[in-house]
């Protein structure tokens, strides 16, 4: 199980999370988010070990701006939370790993994902809200049984210390990773290291038990 921690913007907090060795760290490049990285110095991200995938999170941004920020922050991956179409994703996939996020609700139609086959690396299933992400709300995970493609996915949307044990009960063959964000915070963009450590322990313990 891969672990992504998202929405980081404070250098000391970022250092503490590096020590937990997540697989991905996410940086919000969306101006209206309370987790927007704003003028986070590039050298803070340069200190991330290579094993951690530096991920820029975007919402309906232009290819030009995303490309600029990939270059500036040396992102390994992008997570796209808006209405980015398959061709847009494909253009980015030539340069970085692409996680395409979809907001899921009870009526979510998994057929709409078909055109993205081969054009993204992973799907990320989040809860559908007008905010595009970072809502802290969960969706009904039973609906994931309807997902039949062979592309792996991350689960996100309101994952928290209170539901991580339930997350571990999800047995979908394409369930690849979790994205931990707002429900692990002391303030927007600042993660609670103790809460994260406990979740990492549970997630890693379960991965060991599966071997």
Residues that bind ligand LGQLAAA5 (CB under 6 A): 6-7, 26, 28, 30, 33, 35, 57, 59, 81, 124, 126, 132-136, 156-159, 179, 181-183
Nearest residue relative to ligand LGQLAAA5 (C-beta) = 133
Query: Whole-number minimum distance, CB 199 to ligand LGQLAAA5, in Å?
Result: 12
Enter the tokens of residue 91. Answer: 């253009």
Q: CA–CA separation, 172 vs 161, rounded Å? A: 21
Query: Whole-number minimum distance, CB 38 to ligand LGQLAAA5, in Å?
Result: 13
Contact 175, 3 (CB under 8 A): no
Query: Whole-number minimum distance, CB 68 to ligand LGQLAAA5, in Å?
Result: 19
Q: Which is closer to ligand LGQLAAA5, CB of 17 or CB of 208?
A: 17
Q: Which is closer to ligand LGQLAAA5, CB of 37 or CB of 44?
A: 37
Q: Which is closer to ligand LGQLAAA5, CB of 163 or CB of 211?
A: 163
Distances (CA, A) of 27 to 35, 55, 114, 140: 8, 6, 28, 26
Query: Whole-number minimum distance, CB 180 to ligand LGQLAAA5, in Å?
Result: 7
Q: Which of 152, 163, 145, 153 is nearest to 203 (CA)?
A: 163
Element (H, E) at 207: helix 193-210
Query: Whole-number minimum distance, CB 89 to ligand LGQLAAA5, in Å?
Result: 16
Q: Which is closer to ligand LGQLAAA5, CB of 119 or CB of 134?
A: 134
Q: CA–CA separation, 135 vs 211, rounded Å? A: 34
CB atoms within 10 A of CB 56: 25
Q: Which of 150, 167, 161, 169 is nearest to 193 (CA)?
A: 161
Q: Which is closer to ligand LGQLAAA5, CB of 83 or CB of 210?
A: 83
């Amino acid at each position: 199980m891969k672990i992504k921690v998202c929405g980081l913007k404070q250098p000391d907090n970022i250092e503490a999370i590096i020590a937990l060795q997540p697989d991905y760290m996410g940086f919000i490049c969306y101006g209206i988010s309370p987790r927007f990285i704003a003028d986070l110095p590039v050298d803070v991200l340069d200190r991330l070990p290579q094993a951690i995938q530096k991920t820029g999170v975007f919402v309906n941004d232009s290819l030009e701006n995303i490309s600029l920020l990939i270059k500036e922050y040396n992102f390994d991956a992008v997570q796209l939370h808006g209405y980015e179409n398959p061709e847009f994703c494909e253009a980015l996939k030539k340069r970085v790993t692409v996680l395409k996020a979809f907001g899921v609700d009870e009526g979510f139609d998994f057929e709409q994902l078909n055109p993205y086959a081969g054009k993204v690396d992973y799907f990320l299933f989040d809860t559908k809200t007008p905010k595009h992400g970072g809502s802290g709300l969960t969706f009904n995970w039973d609906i994931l049984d309807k997902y039949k493609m062979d592309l792996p996915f991350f689960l996100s949307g309101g994952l928290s210390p209170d539901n991580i044990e339930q997350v571990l009960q999800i047995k979908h063959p394409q369930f690849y990773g979790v994205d931990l964000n707002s429900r692990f915070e002391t303030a927007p963009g600042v993660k609670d290291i103790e809460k994260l450590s406990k979740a990492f322990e549970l997630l890693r313990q379960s991965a060991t038990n599966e071997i």
